Amino acid sequence: MLEYYNYIKSLHLIFVITWFAGLFYIPRLFVYQIEASQKPSPDKEILGNQLKLMAKRLWFIITWPSSILATLFAIWLLVLMPGWLEQPWMHVKLGFVVLLILYHLKCHHIYKQLQNDIIKWSSNQMRMWNEGSTIILFSVIFLVVVRDAVNWIYGVISIISLSILLMMGIKLYKRIRDKNPEA
């Protein structure tokens, strides 16, 4: 079975990429749905219906299948390479995977609410939520590539710094948008 290792790893990576693509785009659609709900009729209904359809297709045709396939291929890799489970970096990576799954499930909850016209988030809050998957992605990629060579203090400082920069970028964008609604 080890002769198939690189194929399995390639498929795992492909589905991780498409899973993240879905997780990057679905909160964007949520932002647009929230903003469309504040428009006057008939724009509100036309945009709302179109965005719901786009979210449904993205969520159930790309994001959910990718998450399931990425997870199945990851489990298969761990079965082939059980020694990885003894590595401290793998424990941390699996912790981030649990966070990613929780993020995914929360996105599903938000998706269901918005499909039923239940809006509990502002568009700005959703923009901040959108950065959650980015932070998890950065964490996992650096952890996997650098592994044990990562000085944990610098790693934590880097993730916190990235988070602060992303939040500052969102606030700056909001200010620009408030001054110029067409931006």
Residue 44 marked as a ligand binder? no
Mean pLDDT of the chain: 91
What number of other Cβ atoms are within 10 A of residue 179's Cβ? 8
Q: Is 109 annotated as a binding residue?
A: no
Q: Is 140 exposed, middle or buried (0-12, 13-18, 19+ CB in 10 A)?
A: buried
Looking at residue 148, its pLDDT comes to 63
Residue 2 has pLDDT above 90, yes or no: no
Q: Give residue 59's pLDDT.
A: 98
Cβ neighbour number for residue 37 with a 10 Å cutoff: 16
What is the residue extent of each domain of the chain?
2-179
Q: Where are the alpha helices (DSSP H) in 37-151?
A: 43-57, 64-80, 88-115, 123-146
Tens of pLDDT, residues 19-77? 999 999 999 999 999 999 999 999 999 999 999 999 999 999 999 999 999 999 999 99
- This prediction's pTM: 0.85
Q: Name the pLDDT band for 151 (thresholds 50, 70, 90).
A: low
